[in-house]
Amino acid sequence: MSVICVLGMHRSGTSCLAGSLQAAGLYGGKVKRCNGDNLKGCRENSDIIALNEAVLAEAGGTWKNPPDPISWTEEHQQQRDAIIADFYYYVPVWMFKDPRTVLTLPFWREGIPNLHFIGTFRHPMKVAMSLYHRSGFPLRDSLTLWIHYNRIILDTFQQSPFPLLCFDLPQQEYLSQLEQGINHLCSQVKASISLSIPAAQRFYETRLVNQKDMVSLPPQNANRDHDHSNDSQLLATAAELYRNLRQAAGLTRSETEEAVVQTSGYIVPNEESISACQEVIKSQPDNPHAYFMLGNAQRHQDDIDGAIASYGKAFELAPDNYYFYRHLSTLLYQEERLDEAITVCQQALQSQPENPLIYSTLGQIQLQKGNQAEGMANCQKAAELVN
């Protein structure tokens, strides 16, 4: 007998993943199949939701105010064991999903020692914006929650890896991850199960990625409770955690850095931001995103030398990050520090030797300096790589 739990924060694709698994043939009991926030329902069992809420309340918390540590009573244990027994009465293999379970994992693991997992995560800003547009939840609070939930997910993964899906991926890439995840589950559960991957994949629709989540941020003159941008330390922490989640999900480094930089770029350039970045660097001296964000703030305050130094440190720590290279080389070029810009381009090519954009930039700078032969050669190399 086996139990599979979908792990993921609210607004992170848990309903899509749970619905896909149920469509494939996994039993999830009586679940909600339609509501206003999810076109195909949240796919949650109301008894499990109620029990999770009761356990959180026992410890003085809720899903949006996580208690630490959690606690539960003997009555909660009896309710949990009754739910488990009821599921096993129908099938030897079943699944459940409720984002609150991320917070109540010790409680469920006590009752199901060999609990299997499949997880999902989503870009922190998309989750924050989804919660904001759904219920006006403050963006800073949403990011804090995102970090709390996803740290638990990543810690659980690191203890014993399980399939981890990224809800930000394009449809075909997501469906490929879904197929791999289902195959892994089938190989792990002790009971014999047969799941239909095509049925699981048919459940997915691009409409399930709520379009309201993608709209622009609230205006900067809105209620300050909704202005996440000044909290650079929070953003740097979220960016680093998101990067680690994507790497745990098996995504390539270039894909990961491109996505992470979307988080790093949210910043209001002011003294508060600079101080916050500097505090992050004190505790995380090898975090390239903190230096990158510091460079953004310094640049907007016209501290060009400071920005170049910060971008340079970010690039030094992550030389294969195209965005760090681009910001540094562009600023050097604008300041007519062409020799330094050429050096940065050459350093970037050591870790990104097939990137035509770097060859093109290097060639143009060399042509401007009068290095005709080298400049033309690098421009030609860029054209060859594109073709």
321-380 confidence digits (pLDDT tens): 887 898 899 999 999 999 999 999 999 999 889 888 899 999 999 999 999 999 999 999
Output the average pLDDT for the chain.
83
Domain boundaries 232-386, corresponding CATH code: 1.25.40.10
Q: Higher model confidence: residue 212 or residue 336?
A: 336
Residue 54 predicted with pLDDT over 70: yes
Amino acid 125: pLDDT: 86
- The residues spanned by each domain of the chain are 2-206, 232-386
Predicted confidence band at 135 (pLDDT cuts at 50, 70, 90)? low
Phi and psi torsions of 137, nearest 5°: -65, 130
Task: Inform me whether the pLDDT recorded for 119 exceeds 80.
Answer: yes
Beta bridge partners of 273: none
For 284, phi and psi rounded to 5 degrees? -130, 70
Quick one: which of 321, 143, 316, 121 has its CA closest to 217? 143
Whose tokens are 């149920």? That residue is 22
Looking at residue 165, its pLDDT comes to: 96
Listed in order, strand segments (DSSP E) in the chain are 2-7, 93-97, 116-121, 164-166
- Distance, CA of 127 to CA of 263 (rounded, Å): 12
Whether the predicted model's global pTM rises above the 0.75 cut: no
How does residue 42 score in pLDDT terms, banded at 50, 70 and 90?
low
Task: Name the pLDDT band for 224 (thresholds 50, 70, 90).
Answer: very low
Mean pLDDT of 184-208: 75
Q: Looking at domain 2-206, which CATH architecture does it have?
A: 3-Layer(aba) Sandwich (3.40)
When pLDDT is cut at 50, 70 and 90, the band that residue 7 belongs to is very high
Residue 236: per-residue pLDDT? 79
